[in-house]
Structure 1
């Protein structure tokens, strides 16, 4: 039984060595770091940030509208947030903070 087991282990070890052996002539193995590099211009083509076309877009990027500020005020107050889920934002905001 032991001889059969040792023969099986030796066969598996040799099979593993044959399967895992790398052939330096064949590039189908693992990719090297040099093979996946791309030019800087190509890489920046999809990362480049869109430039603002007007001062209005620049302003909107940094400042929130009054309605958005009211929504955040209601969301930060748990009773208003809960009621806005039930009856809507306008009624909930009027109930807790007065008329907008």
Structure 2
């Protein structure tokens, strides 16, 4: 199934390159380069993040609260994660890792 999907995607990409080629003296390589290398601003438009304005924000971005660390520990252990859905996080964490 995956090989069929990959073949379909490659076929569609080649068809798009052939159909979208500009005919006024440009070679097929130049046309394909224009399609594969969009402008830097367009390519990175969706990745722009807000800049942090204070050291306070920098600190709390890297600091995780103890309860958040315990939640991650329980989520990474499948029996605890399953049991926390059934009886709650506190009881599941106490059963597998002891008192918090």
Structure (1 or 2) with the larger CA radius of gyration: 1
Higher helix share: 2
Normalising by structure 2, we get a TM-score of 0.49
